[in-house]
Amino acid sequence: MTTVATLALAIPLFGAAFSLIALRNLLAQRIVSIAASVGLVAVSGYLLFAVDADGAVAVAVGGWEAPFGIALVADRLAVLLLFTAAVALLAVLVYAVSQRSTDEELRGFHSVYQMLATGVALSLLTGDLFTLFVAFEIMLTASYVLLTYRAGGEQTRATISYVVIGLVASALLLTTIALIYAVAGTVNIADLTTRLDAVPAGLRSGLGWMLFLVFGIKAAIFPLFFWLPDSYPVAATPVTALFAGLLTKIGVYAIVRTQTLLFPSDGPVTFMLVIAGLTMVVGVLGAIAQKDIKRILSFHIVSQIGYMIMGLGFFTVAGVAAAIVFIVHQIIVKASLFLVGGLVETSEGTGAIDEVNGVAKRSPLIAALFLLAAFSLAGFPPLSGFVGKLALVQAGFLAERWVVVGVSLFASLLTLFSMSKIWSGVFWGEPAEAPKERPARGMTAATAALVLVTLIVALAGEPLVAYAERAASDLLEPGVYRTLVIGAAP
């Protein structure tokens, strides 16, 4: 099984290399890229079940034993998110290929796309803080390139601020890792779990909050989210959908991984819950003030991050499990909402909700897809958002943190309000003029497939929550992770 875990990195990496070799041949590039994405789905799907049945695997890269070498750790949390990410990557890739943008593809879109997939897989699988930094850099550099593909005029400004924020966050992450290395003498996460015990409590929590701050910039929590709604909407639809689905969630994953393993807390962390509540409310209020589909959805990304931080903030198995379920739900639903937004933009020529009318009459399928995804985002039963929010609210009741639970339900209501704003603005009414361009069949099919996955997530709600609970107890149970990577503590 160790080979399979390594394959999850090798497949997208070779996909990137081969599509770079085939740079002049569009068909070959597409075949390589799609084959790599299908391969990643298959491998991570296998890992999803194998890890749950036989236990997690740790790979010592190059045969260098942990904690001296680089460790790859495929535990339940990593493989669950890897599988979800792989599904989103595949669907978005099919959408991108169906969209007629051959010139972009010829300029290396596929190899950059696969590099992004490599970065995502590496950040999920690594068991080493410095490798996590490298993985973030791979992922972010690929995202810089994808974002600047169409850059011109207004967009250059947005991309520059995105790159600058990314660089500042990376420098801070590097500094934090250096400080952790200085006090603990290792960057291996499993080794750190015990070595940090010897560090004075104040120093340890200082380092913990520094990591929270750095990953918080990447995850776009309040008050560090201002870069996101400016930069995401300017890119091409598949790129925005991918960023919305994956990048911020990887930041949240890093927060969950480091806070639970390295800086555990006995009870709920009030500061985190306050940040979570503010992120939810400020994000959704920002969304209500916007007038463009993609900008509205971008603010919703921020708002939904708050729910995940809330789950983590309870610091119970139920809370962390709910956060994990919510990340899975968000990766799929956010990507599909942006893809629907792209379908509307393609067929109507713009995503401004004042200018578009009557999409429901002209293309009922797009309207149905939007409705399902939007209801799922707001948390209607029986969709996936309901599963995630129910788990979160239950965890909140168990932890007896009534205020933040109330805030989260209030933010859900506002989410519904802002979704109904898109619905009444874009989908109701009489269509004004002839459609600009019919979206290609593959685009609609990819979107529909992703929306279908949200339904599957909802139907598989119970096993998913149980899986997430096992993943969360792996994280919160002291020593499990260490035993897996290094062996039993002395």
Q: Which of 25, 175 has the CB closer to other proteins?
A: 175
CB of 179 to other proteins, least distance (A): 7
CB of 60 to other proteins, least distance (A): 16
Q: CA 300, CA 362: separation in Å to the nearest integer?
A: 27
CA separation, residue 208 to residues 204, 271, 321 (Å) = 6, 13, 21
Asked if 250 and 118 touch (Cβ cutoff 8 Å), the reply is no
Q: Which of 26, 151 has the CB closer to other proteins?
A: 151
Q: Which of 393, 486 has the CB closer to other proteins?
A: 486
Residue listed under structure tokens 């995804």 = 373
Q: Which two tokens stand for residue 158?
A: 């947005």
Sign of torsion over alpha carbons 75, 119, 36, 17: negative
Cite the beta strand spans of 33-147 per DSSP E.
57-60, 71-74
CB of 285 to other proteins, least distance (A): 13
Q: Residues 6 or more apart from 21 whose CB is under 8 A from it?
A: none
Q: Which of 160, 390 has the CB closer to other proteins?
A: 160
Q: Which of 187, 343 has the CB closer to other proteins?
A: 187
Q: Which two tokens stand for residue 23?
A: 């740079």
CB of 119 to other proteins, least distance (A): 12
Backbone angles phi, psi at 383, to 5 degrees: -90, 170
Q: Residues 6 or more apart from 28 whose CB is under 8 A from it?
A: 19, 22
* Closest to 13 (Cα-Cα) out of 34, 38, 36: 36
Q: Which of 137, 355 has the CB closer to other proteins?
A: 137
CB of 447 to other proteins, least distance (A): 28
Q: Which of 147, 404 has the CB closer to other proteins?
A: 147
CB of 175 to other proteins, least distance (A): 5
How many other C-beta atoms can be found within 10 angstroms of the C-beta atom of residue 464? 23
Q: Which of 20, 160 has the CB closer to other proteins?
A: 160
* Closest to 446 (Cα-Cα) out of 338, 354, 359, 318: 338
Q: CA 336, CA 242: separation in Å to the nearest integer?
A: 9
* Closest to 9 (Cα-Cα) out of 79, 106, 87: 79
CB of 62 to other proteins, least distance (A): 13
Q: CA 447, CA 442: separation in Å to the nearest integer?
A: 9
CB of 148 to other proteins, least distance (A): 6
Interface residue list for other proteins (CB under 8 A): 130, 133-134, 137, 141, 144-145, 148, 151-154, 156-157, 159-161, 163-164, 166-168, 170-172, 174-175, 177-179, 181-182, 187, 230
CB of 223 to other proteins, least distance (A): 15
Residues in a beta bridge with 286: none
Q: Which of 171, 432 has the CB closer to other proteins?
A: 171
Asked if 489 and 194 touch (Cβ cutoff 8 Å), the reply is yes
